Amino acid sequence: MVLHPLSDFIDSNSPVSNSSPNYWYQGRCPQTGELLRLPRTRLVEAIAYNLMQHLATDNRYSSEGKMYGVLLIELPTGEQRILKAFSGLLNGDSVVEGWVPPIPGRKQVALEETSTLSELDAIKQELITLKQLPERLQYETHTSEFELRLQQMSDRHQDCKNKRIEKRQILCETLAGETLHFALEQLNEESRREGIERKQLKRQRDEKLQPLQQLIAVADTRIRELKQQRKQLSRQLQAQMHAAYTLMNFLGQSLSLQQLIPGGMPTGTGDCCAPKLLHYAATHHFKPLAMAEFWWGSSSTDQDKVQGEFYGACAERCQPLMGFLLSGLSQRKSNANVSTTEQTLPIVYEDEWLIVVNKPSGLLSVPGRYFDTQDSVLSRLRYLLADGVILNAVHRLDQETSGILVLARDLQIYRQLSQQFQQRQVHKVYEAVLSGLLTTEQGVIELPLWGNPENRPYQQVDWQYGKPSVTHFQMIAVEGNYTRVELTPLTGRTHQLRVHAADVKGLGVPILGDRLYGCRAAASRLHLHAREICFEHPQLGKTIHLQAKTPF
């Protein structure tokens, strides 16, 4: 059964608010240019969280990391149901009971796919063998040994040289004539012997390493050839799949991926959750109401996906298809009249130089790199305000953190305020709910933080590479199994409060809802709020103290 009742995912006695979408799947209709949108709401996120709990109980879903998705739909009868999908293959299978089937087309290229995948696997195995060539380790070992020997010899020769310099001075002071000449020549001969000794050792090194270098060079040439061959095979298979894969939208139009994107698409296009879910809904005349996608399982190969985190349409594979897939939804309720709360922001303070807003959780402070990360406080204000084009965010809040965000209305004010932040002259107070109990009522956390470039945006405590970070904490109250705390950062490192809360050398208790740093308790959001800020107004010269009520 592919259609699932809401009761399988949501307790009817615990209603979830379905207002204020946290994200919009969107794209422009190819025919009309109209912006079409489908929300990710609190309700569909709650459905996704329930699915996560199910995935956590079955080892089949944790062995490989991948994207999963849920789509809340409405039947022609008015009843609501749930569709769920996984990206690519699940344990080697494309069709799994209870999940939306793949987009039509895979069967047409099944034989070519099997043959190509077999060739690709053979290439993979040969690449592994070539990369693990024993001569590579031998080369590294011998290189290290010779470097050590050369360094030891160099140190010894330098010591001898220093002694010869001292000896020459003494000889010149005590000897003369032929006797002096003979003594100095002996010292010169000693120096020449040391030079010969060094050349001999380098010759030994080259005789040992050159044969290994040649073997490694041959292997590296073969690796480049195999990678090129792998790329060509992948492109050939992908072209066949793109010609075969056919998508349908809500206007009833059906086109292949090749027709939709003639210039070609990355590997895996058409296998993601969003296209699978929307195609299935369109072909069965279901009305989409809301959709959510999340990562589950081990970390992705590029280390940028976190288990249990929600993600939008991927920029390379899904986003280019959104306009076509959503065509036909322009008159549907899910896309009608975007709410004013989605476009406006609560203003905490405003004058001709500054604007300070209370940023909601789930909204970026500034736009991201890709199309699906353009919605932000800065982009909304730039659109809404007459002088918005010159606005600049003076600082940032994490996407899931709510609270006070300061923006400058001219470049000079921006620079002056930025300098206050850099010089730690701005006083900030955050409020958070921790996902456990504290044993200490107050204190100071000092931990060096470092962001591994291969595991962004995750930050970690690193005593070698980390930058100093300091946070004062004060317990406010114990609320059941949770603790409400006040956090005052004296530095402004990325994810500082989140790491200081979660790390065992800090509070040792993650902030409620902070899945990135280990919170496993169910929560609708990250319970971290920028409650207060105090700074000197660059133009008025007076102290500005602002507060925004904590929403949780």
Concatenating the DSSP letter of every residue in 274-292 gives HHHHHHHHHHTT-EEEEEE
Query: Which of 271, 375, 398, 503 is an active site residue?
Result: 398
B/e letters for 508-532, b = 16+ CB within 10 Å, e = fewer, are: ebbbbbbbbbebeeebbbbbbbbbb
CA dihedral of 299, 303, 308, 311, whole degrees rounded to 10: -130
Which tokens is 238 given?
Answer: 């992908």
- For 168, half-sphere exposure in the C-beta direction (CA atoms, 13 angstrom radius) is 14
User: Which residue shows structure tokens 């050792």?
Assistant: 201
Name residues whose C-beta falls within 8 Å of residue 538's C-beta, 6 or more positions apart in sequence.
Answer: 353, 412, 413, 416, 417, 420
Residue 398: active-site member: yes
Cβ-based burial of 114 (10 A; exposed 0-12, middle 13-18, buried ≥19): exposed
Q: Could you give phi then psi for residue 44, rounded to 5 degrees?
A: -70, -30
Concatenating the DSSP letter of every residue in 535-547 gives EE-TTT-SEEEEE
User: CA–CA separation, 437 vs 484, rounded Å?
Assistant: 9
Q: CB of 342 within 8 A of CB of 20?
A: yes
Q: Could you give phi then psi for residue 296, rounded to 5 degrees?
A: -140, 140
B/e letters for 80-104, b = 16+ CB within 10 Å, e = fewer, are: ebbbbbbbeebeeebeeeebbebbb
User: CA–CA separation, 447 vs 491, rounded Å?
Assistant: 11
Q: CB of 429 within 8 A of CB of 487?
A: yes
Strand pairing category for 528-536 and 402-408? parallel
Give the residue numbers marked as catalytic: 398
